[in-house]
Structure 1
Amino acid sequence: MINSLQAGDKVAIVALARKVDFADLEPGINILESWGLQVVLGKTLYESFHQFAGPDEIRLADFQTMLDDPEIKAIFSARGGYGTTRLLDQINFTNFRQQPKWLIGFSDITALHSHIHNFGIESIHGTMPALFAKTGAEEAVESLRKILFGENITYQSPAHDLNILGQAEGPLGGGNLSLLVTCIGTTSDIDTSGKILFLEDLDEYLYHIDRMMVQLDRAGKLKNLAGLIVGSMSDMKDNAVPFGKNAYEIISEHAGKYGYPVCFDFPTGHEPKNLALVCGRKSILKVTDAGTSLEYFQTSL
């Protein structure tokens, strides 16, 4: 288990993927400092290389420096976008595995979460500094603070017509559907058996969602789950000839046949209320007529 943060700890912000407008980070930096943290800014926050926050070698070196620095207790990805998978096989995790620290982010950062999930090390799927000041993000930011500082937290979500009732226990894992599918067959691919999987996505065609769910199912990622949490499926698109189902209905078709509890419209993903989830932490998912609850055991994988 990773040590909780304390006032005075150093934390880093780096850009693993898309380039950053530094002005977007300033409110997030101020919030982290208001928590009593010392914020160390990575070189990639000032870099630009086409759509990336610098060339691969710059982003890799920046992340590696923060990963290996024993004084840095947590690393925040400034934002998502695309680019993390380009780096994963070149990162040296030796020091990190001996002295783990919190890694925080979502979206493209799902690939990093999945990669270190296989080490048995927890990480946080949560909002990122460039989004801290977004209208409606207050609960997301506060949930992240509570987890980082070791406070107990339980989440509640309203009932949904497609929910499948039941209770599940198991380690949390998951994130962005597109990235999870991208990781299949690589060293970042996770074993989902006995896990509570969570999914979210953004700006996809509905047939893409169906194709990716078919891939997850064919790869054996759905059959042996303990439970499934479906977060926001934001800004979905359809073709001129409609697919015929929305994103939640598509996911329900593929996962609903297995009988484990499934909840929909859980507040995680590309919406301001993106509650922080601890990847790798054993959790209890309860889906009832009244709604859904998720709480953590205080143990890891």
Structure 2
Amino acid sequence: MIAPPYLKKGDKIAITCPAKSLPSDITTAIQLLGSWGLEVVIGETVTATYHQFAGTDDLRTQDLQRFLDDDSIKAIVAARGGYGTIRIIDQLDFSRFRRNPKWLVGFSDITVLHSHIHATCGVQTIHGQMPLNVPDATKPSLESLRKALFGEPLHYEYESQTPGRDGEAEGILIGGNLTLLVMMAGSASEMDFTGKILFIEDVGEYLYSVDRMLWQLKRAGKLAKLKGLIVGGFTDVKDNAIPFGQTVPEIVMNLVEEYDYPVCFAFPAGHIDNNYALKLGSMVTILKRYTKIKVEQVFRA
């Protein structure tokens, strides 16, 4: 996977809204990016609205296309997720982006772009905090985004009391929002899961829905081919009046019990304030021993 050029002070980056409209201004985020020495260019969609979207499909396509094609823009940051990126993905032309790749940053609905870029361009992207989330984001998570953009090592150590499966693995990191990963199945935007370390997160889903989506991945042969599994935040998970009977970790372990790769829970990424940056498409190592877990990006010449 190709790593776009890392940022340096004075570089231009763009903020655009490929999905839902912003409910508030993003001044705090613009100021933060400026404090990193970056020049921020604001897309038309940042202030646009069309029903629940940040402008019409055409406007959102044109806004993102402008930044994909502009070689002076060194990174594109999605202002927020929501819903809507899938409506424009097939209208975007990535031919110039392939010749001059740049960093794409975001999470949640932006998984559509992560997946499509990995599948069709072979370019690394960053799963991390977005401008809408900056006011509530933890300082360490924002610092991890800065490190990812400027090419500094990403090394995470944390403890999880949620049982998983011990082990060690190295592989290319893929993933994002579980719902969106399942939505990409069978399309030109579907990631290759073979030999990869998969990261998943989600928000607001019913337990039965999480179970159903993971069964879909299993039946499609995706879970059997992994080298490792990292489970991030599954926040605001709901249950029915008649309880489903399993927690998210229990659902996951039930579906991967026949495999032997490491499984890590409670990684600090997803729809949480402490949403650490992950460089999707990069080589990473994971080491799980009991409650202690290490996830580290591997730099190779």
* Matched letter for residue 22 of structure 2: V
Number of the residue aligned with 1:202 = 203
Q: Secondary structure of the equivalent of 2:286?
A: strand
Q: Secondary structure of the equivalent of 2:123?
A: coil
Number of the residue aligned with 1:132 = 134
TM alignment of 1:122-161, pairs within 5 A: 122-134=124-136, 136-161=137-162
The question of whether the paired residues in 2 share the 8 Å contact of 1:171 and 1:283 is answered with yes
Let me know the Cα RMSD of the aligned residues: 1.1
Deviations 1:221-250 (A, max 9, x none): 100100000001000000000000111211
The question of whether the paired residues in 1 share the 8 Å contact of 2:144 and 2:277 is answered with yes
The question of whether the paired residues in 2 share the 8 Å contact of 1:74 and 1:103 is answered with yes
Q: 1:299 to 1:173 in 2, by over 3 A?
A: farther
Structure 1 residue 159: Cα displacement: 3.2
Mapped partners of 1:26, 1:248: distance in 2: 38
Deviations 1:9-64 (A, max 9, x none): 000000010001342x1100000000010000000011101110001000000000
Number of the residue aligned with 1:281 = 282
Structure 1 unaligned segments of length 5 or more: list them.
none
TM alignment of 1:41-190, pairs within 5 A: 41-118=42-119, 119-134=121-136, 136-190=137-191
Mapped partners of 2:193, 2:211: distance in 1: 19
TM alignment of 1:35-46, pairs within 5 A: 35-46=36-47
The question of whether the paired residues in 1 share the 8 Å contact of 2:78 and 2:106 is answered with yes
Mapped partners of 2:88, 2:162: distance in 1: 40
TM-score (norm 1): 0.97
Mapped partners of 2:94, 2:151: distance in 1: 24
Mapped partners of 1:109, 1:264: distance in 2: 22
Q: 1:87 to 1:12 in 2, by over 3 A?
A: same
Mapped partners of 2:220, 2:159: distance in 1: 31
Q: How many aligned positions are there?
A: 298
Deviations 1:194-215 (A, max 9, x none): 1000000000010000000100
Mapped partners of 2:166, 2:129: distance in 1: 28
1:29 paired to 2:30 = yes
Deviations 1:154-213 (A, max 9, x none): 001203332100001100000000000000000111111110000000000100000001
Q: 1:199 to 1:45 in 2, by over 3 A?
A: same
Mapped partners of 2:60, 2:211: distance in 1: 33
Number of the residue aligned with 2:271 = 270
Q: Secondary structure of the equivalent of 2:270?
A: coil
Deviations 1:274-301 (A, max 9, x none): 110011001101111241101111259x
Deviations 1:232-275 (A, max 9, x none): 10000000000001112111111232110000011010000111
Deviations 1:106-150 (A, max 9, x none): 00001110111122210000010111111x521111100001011
Runs of 4+ in 1 over 3 A off after TM superposition: none
* Matched letter for residue 130 of structure 1: L
Q: Secondary structure of the equivalent of 2:151?
A: coil
Mapped partners of 1:218, 1:59: distance in 2: 35
Number of the residue aligned with 2:241 = 240
Mapped partners of 1:21, 1:177: distance in 2: 24
* Percent identity between the two aligned chains: 49
* Matched letter for residue 296 of structure 1: Q
Number of the residue aligned with 2:17 = 15
Mapped partners of 2:145, 2:57: distance in 1: 28
Mapped partners of 2:161, 2:187: distance in 1: 34
Number of the residue aligned with 2:261 = 260
The question of whether the paired residues in 1 share the 8 Å contact of 2:161 and 2:291 is answered with no
Mapped partners of 2:19, 2:300: distance in 1: 31
The question of whether the paired residues in 2 share the 8 Å contact of 1:115 and 1:189 is answered with yes
The question of whether the paired residues in 2 share the 8 Å contact of 1:22 and 1:46 is answered with no
Mapped partners of 1:22, 1:260: distance in 2: 43
